[in-house]
Structure 1
């Protein structure tokens, strides 16, 4: 069945998200490993993705771990260096689908404030027909409720959606609802999947 709409994750699909790489560069791998072992940066970020205030969440964590406070505050002060660079091949696919008139949706675990700031800095994030953002919704992937919300609000049947994400648990959650899926491991593989699904030809997909 040819899909009716294409659903993109954002982090590591359209925009690289590799905090470890950033911290390795800034403080060295050994010190980064200590930081990540002693401070629950990932848990703090999950809270932001569920709607907690970004700056306040970072500051609370910094105050809780004063020995690591400068490094923790980098998460806030240098966020755009962590969420970088854009994945140009995926952006071209988004625009090729739009040029064909295919509805292009986003389903992303992303904070409210950070998403709004990212849209201002990265205009391609405003090109979706609609974005479902976990921080606005108070629920995040792979919770089935966020997939159900997209289905209900878009009015598109699950089997008519094709979705890419870089996390296997999110892909499994979508597949369990009947979505067509693709585990993102690079834009070329996603391009080939869209060609196979009849959404683009090889030239449009950049292959």
Structure 2
């Protein structure tokens, strides 16, 4: 794919994924928490956890937390309570990505910022409160469990572009997953693959922000 063309005045809106772009994620913390409650080794659970159809349906709001945790109880083979599953599920949030907050604060003074994330109701409830400060820079957040669509599906990008209300090519999208970047570019967005906060800083500088 072509590299994004970033230049001063090239964007009317900035769109950010949350996980590993704005918020740091460490899934091993969930496995460690669950294993602690279950009295087993985290490695025992790691091979059993799958981002399967149930996982995807949870992210699009088709099933609730209780149904998702019931499925985990079966797939992981551990008899945890919903509260114990929730504790581990929310333990994955490891803080803000280093240096991202001042970058967002500066960018928000120049352009409208939006978030676009695959997530679920339990996580939304948690991070909306725990990270209210940094998330306050976003004019609107498009969350898969709310809009019923998830990346990298084309319909998800079309929904977000329409809601933002500017041409796709005038939206610069930041995401850490290559498949989401490729899908965004296929829908006409300018996309930046984020491997560290430095990638965000470099892109913003190129945009004159």
TM range (shorter): 0.7 to 0.9
**Residue 120 of structure 1 aligns with which residue?**
129
Q: Distance in 1 between matches of 2:76 and 2:159?
A: 40
Match of 1:160 among 165, 170, 178: 170
Please state if 1:5 is matched with 2:13: yes
- Cα RMSD after superposing both structures: 2.5
Please state if 1:145 is matched with 2:155: yes
Q: CA deviation at 1:140?
A: 0.4
Gap regions ≥5 residues in structure 1: 201-207
- Identify, as 1 or 2, the structure richer in helix: 1
Please state if 1:15 is matched with 2:26: no
**Residue 61 of structure 1 aligns with which residue?**
72
SS at match of 2:25: coil
Aligned length: 195
Q: Distance in 2 between matches of 1:173 and 1:66?
A: 31
* 1:20-59 matches, cutoff 5 A: 20=28, 22-23=30-31, 27=35, 31-40=41-50, 42-43=51-52, 44-51=54-61, 52-59=63-70
SS at match of 1:164: strand
Gap regions ≥5 residues in structure 2: 1-6
**Residue 91 of structure 2 aligns with which residue?**
81
TM-score, normalization by structure 1: 0.83
**Residue 203 of structure 1 aligns with which residue?**
none
> Are the aligned partners of 1:54 and 1:114 in contact in 2 as well (CA < 8 Å)?
no
Q: Distance in 2 between matches of 1:163 and 1:66?
A: 35
**Residue 4 of structure 2 aligns with which residue?**
none
SS at match of 2:78: helix
**Residue 183 of structure 1 aligns with which residue?**
193
> Are the aligned partners of 1:9 and 1:165 in contact in 2 as well (CA < 8 Å)?
yes
* 1:188-203 matches, cutoff 5 A: 188-198=198-208, 200=209
**Residue 205 of structure 1 aligns with which residue?**
none
SS at match of 1:147: helix
